[in-house]
Amino acid sequence: MESASASAQALREQIAATEARLQKLKDELAQVEASDAARYLNGLSLNGGPVTPQNGSAKWPLLNEEYQRYGRQMIVPSIGIQAGQLRLKSSSVLIIGAGGLGCPAAAYIAGAGVGTIGIVDGDTVETSNLHRQILHSTSKVGMRKAESAISYLKSLNPNPTYIAHTEHISPQNAQEIVERYDLVLDCTDNPASRYLISDVCVLLSKPLVSASALRTDGQLIVLNSPPLPPGNEAGGPCYRCVFPKPPPAESVVSCGDGGILGPVVGVMGVLQAVEAIKIIVEGKLAPSPEIQEGLKATPTSMLLFSALSPQPFRSVRLRSRRPGCFACSKDSGLSLEGLQSGSLDYVLFCGLASSANVLTPEERIEAAEYAKIREREHLLLDVREKVQFDICHLDGSINIPFSAFQGGAKAENDGKVPTWLPESLPKEAPIYVVCRLGNDSQVVTRKLKESGLDSGGKRWIGDIRGGLKAWKQQVDENWPEY
Amino acid sequence: MSISSKASAGHFTILYFASASSYTSKDSEILQAPLPLSKLFETLEERYPGIKAKVLESCLVTVNLEYVDVTGESAGDQTIIQEGDEVAIIPPVSSG
């Protein structure tokens, strides 16, 4: 076994070294070809004037390989070469987030021949990303996402210039990163970054293609297009115009907590690429003169995708910029200086989930301690959603999902004994609440105590600190982590 | 969950997306029309206690696929949700 795994390791290293050499050769070739083509691209304007070679040594604005590579899209009537391919080649696109949205978006943006592509991501590849983040592969687990993405994109199309920004977008670095590009794709995963990216796009007059997805649903919206200065009502609305108030932090669900179907987020990322290509090819990176004069505002819409619905696509019409918008109206409170100095705290604006420490230490138990008292009479209440409970649960636990405690559909019956409490359970037997990570369990513990289930302190109710993740770390290393 | 329902006479359809759908455990339902738009959140709060603060206040709302302002400065407008209308509650989704 050992010698087999050693020779497998040696082969893997050999393959990696050979691939690296091949990539280097491809990069060199691309550079040679690019410098050849660059001469004919000089002076090409984004709004698409006639292209004239600067000298007679070559007649064509694209390389031979590029005619073949982009031929199938260049012969689409709405694309063409002058307005289409050459504009793509001379444009630059920033993709913020190399995850479920950013991966498919980047693949099509690179495939289409956008000249410069930046990828921003501070994360590293994890196994749980691979079902949807199609630029990363099993062998890339642990690698920087921005670098993993670019190594894929280079092998797909070596022609564009790729720039890796291996950090998260922040108020401090946002201007420096975004100002180098013509167009931005928001492929991030949290409210704070969505408001930040929208604000910086407004300040720097960049059109923004924003998408999001959760479970089996997605949203797509083109913002700040046309990208007119704050106060110009003919400009496209920004994220704050559509969603002026961030959702309460505790209601924000991530893909890690709520789940995501790979092709659903894939569809949304692919649609972002479509919108980006449309903006570039239609010459809308900068506003056209008649819009600048305020003659017409372009209607904006939001596309909603619900994979399970009999009508999976719905488009809703939005209005133009919101009067009084904090970012893009004439009353804008934004400035690049304010952004740099940190006077806008996006994390604070979006709120912090308050569940971090709801309970006192006396109301919590370590997973290892709980393992020791499993023999005693008690109730273990697992408050994960049923789909998670079905994947794995501790013997003897009962499942009442967190959502069932969240008001809404089921009103609280304060003071009454809940129907899920086994009648056989002695009145003073303790109740242990567990969830995946130890946040929801605290909230539920608090609610149970407030409803009087602890009989004024006679019954101990508390949670398992760190949830089932801690159980895996402290008690059972074979516990499935999903 | 019911996927879609057709409003009968004297009713309108309301669609719940994302967290609005989780909160109500429904994708859509039928409510009584006519209903002044300004009473929409109140009506939903009665049915789903807590939904206003936890979900609705950060939502985009549309009537027949058109944006409407429920809480903003121009909320004074007298829009009435009519029989057969389709109202959508669209919370921001930020994950991806």
Model confidence band, residue A304 (pLDDT cutoffs 50, 70, 90): very high
* Residue with the two structure tokens 């960049």: A206
Last residue in a domain, options A328, A350, A372 = A350
CB contact under 8 A, B95 and A244: no
Helices (H), B3-94: 18-24, 40-47, 51-54
- Please say whether the beta carbons of A216 and A174 come within 8 A: no
Q: Is residue B71 part of a domain?
A: yes
Given this model, what pLDDT does residue B74 score?
60
| Residue A392 in marked binding region | no
More confident residue, A10 or A145: A145
**Residue A305 within a domain:** yes
CB of A461 closer than 8 Å to CB of A434: no
In a domain, B61, yes or no: yes
Q: Are residues A122 and A237 in the same domain?
A: yes
Containing structural domain, residue A5: 1-77
Is B75 within the bounds of a domain?
A: yes
Q: Residue A44: pLDDT band by 50, 70, 90 thresholds?
A: very low
Q: How many angstroms separate the first and last alpha carbons of chain A?
A: 29
Evaluate whether residue A123 is within a structural domain. yes
Distance CA B56, CA B19 (A): 9
CB nearest A97 (choices: B3, B90, B96): B96
Sequence-distant (6+) residues with CB within 8 A of A424 are: none
Which residue does chain A place closest to B28, by CA atoms? A309
| Whether A299 contacts chain B with CB within 8 A | no
Instruction: Let me know: does A183 contact A91? Beta carbons within 8 Å.
Output: yes
Candidates B4, B22, B90; nearest CB to A304: B90
Number of structural domains (chain A) is 3
Look up residue A306 and give its two tokens: 């619900």
Measured in angstroms, the CA of A235 and the nearest CA of chain B are apart by 17
Contacts of A333 (CB under 8 A, 6+ apart): A326
Asked whether the beta carbons of residue A316 and residue B90 sit closer than 8 angstroms, the reply is yes
- The tally of domains found in chain B comes to 1
Structure tokens belonging to residue B90:
């669209």
Residues of B in contact with A194 (CB under 8 A): 92, 94
Q: Position A126: which residue type? A: E
CB A322 within 8 A of CB A236: no
CATH of the domain at A382: 3.40.250.10
Residues β-bridged to residue B68: B61
Confidence band (pLDDT; 50, 70, 90) for A411? very low
Position A149 in a domain: yes
Structural domain range at position B24: 11-90
A255 is known as an active-site residue: yes
In this predicted structure, the answer to whether residue A10 has a pLDDT above a threshold of 90 is: no
Q: Which of the pair, A39 or B23, is modelled with greater confidence?
A: B23
Is A71 in the same domain as A127? no
* Residues A374 and A421 placed together within one structural domain of the fold: yes
- Report whether pLDDT(A240) > 70: yes
Give me the CATH number covering residue A240: 3.40.50.720
Most confident of A142-146, A283-287, B71-75: A142-146
Contact map slice: A 158-187 vs B, CB within 8 A: 187
A481 vs A458: CA distance, rounded Å? 35
Structure tokens at A157: 């199309």
Active site residue A435: yes
pLDDT in tens, A124-144: 999 999 999 999 999 999 999
> A34 Cβ partners below 8 Å, 6+ apart?
A159, A161
Are residues A433 and A405 part of one domain?
A: yes
Query: Do A132 and A109 reside in the same domain of the chain?
Result: yes
- Average pLDDT in chain A: 89
Assess contact for A271 and A187: CB atoms under 8 A: no
Query: Is residue A419 very low, low, confident or very high in pLDDT (cuts 50, 70, 90)?
Result: confident
- pLDDT tops 90 at residue A145: yes
By DSSP bridging, strand A183-186 and strand A208-214 are parallel
Could you give the dihedral angle defined by the CA atoms of residues A373, A374, A378 and A381, in that order, rounded to the nearest 10 degrees? 120
Lowest mean pLDDT among A67-76, A100-109, A181-190, A446-455: A446-455
Q: Which two tokens stand for residue A431?
A: 């109740």
* CB contact at 8 A, A475 and A374: no
d(CA B63, CA B50): 23
Evaluate whether residue A482 is within a structural domain. no
Distance of CA A22 to the CA centre of its chain: 32
Same domain, A28 and A114: no
Q: The tokens 């949205």 sit on which residue?
A: A101
Q: Are residues A315 and A418 in the same domain?
A: no
A145/A237 same-domain check: yes
**Strand B86-90 vs strand B60-63: parallel, antiparallel, or unpaired?**
antiparallel
Going through A183-291 in order, the beta strands assigned E by DSSP cover 183-186, 208-214, 217-223
- Please tell me if residue B23 touches chain A, with a CB cutoff of 8 Å: yes
| A325 has binding-site annotation | yes
A361 touches chain B (CB under 8 A): no
Q: Give the residue from A313, A332, A350 where a domain finishes.
A: A350
Is A101 annotated as belonging to a binding site? no
Q: Which two tokens stand for residue A297?
A: 């505002």
Cα B69 to Cα B76: distance, rounded to the nearest angstrom: 9
- Binding residue per annotation — A328? yes
Q: Does one domain contain both A151 and A178?
A: yes
Q: Does the beta carbon of B17 lie under 8 angstroms from any beta carbon of chain A? A: yes
Binary contact (A248, B94; C-beta < 8 A): no
Judge: A248–B53 Cβ closer than 8 Å, yes or no.
Answer: yes
Q: For residues A344 and A170, what is the distance between their CA atoms, to the nearest angstrom?
A: 11
* pLDDT score recorded for residue B3: 44
Q: With respect to residue B49, please indicate whether it lies within any of the assigned structural domains.
A: yes
3-class SS letters over A405-455: HCCCCCCCCCCCCCCCCCCCCCCCCCEEEECCCCCHHHHHHHHHHHCCCCH
| Adjacency order of strands within the sheet including A431-434 | A364-365, A461-464, A431-434, A379-382, A398-399
Per the domain annotation, does B1 fall within a domain?
no
**Residues B17-60 pLDDT 10s:** 999 998 999 999 999 999 999 999 999 999 999 999 999 999 99
* Distances A65 to A51, A68, A77, A240 between C-alpha atoms, Å: 19, 5, 21, 43
- With vertex at residue A97, the alpha carbon angle to CA A93 and CA A98, rounded to the nearest 5 degrees, is 90
Asked, for residue A86, whether it belongs to a domain, the answer is: no
Which of A27, A48, A77 delimits the end of a domain?
A: A77
Cα angle: A61, vertex A62, A66; to 5 degrees: 170
- CA B71, B77, B83 angle in degrees (round to 5)? 95
Are A122 and A183 in the same domain? yes
A33 and A141 fall within a common domain: no
- Pick from A211, A198, A284, A182: which is nearest to A244 by CA? A198
Q: What is the CATH number of the domain that holds B54?
A: 3.10.20.30
In 3-state terms, what secondary structure has residue A75?
A: coil
Assigned domain for A178 exists: yes
Based on the domain organization, do A424 and A329 belong to the same domain? no
Strands (E), A224-359: 300-306, 313-318
What DSSP element (H or E) covers A119? strand A116-120
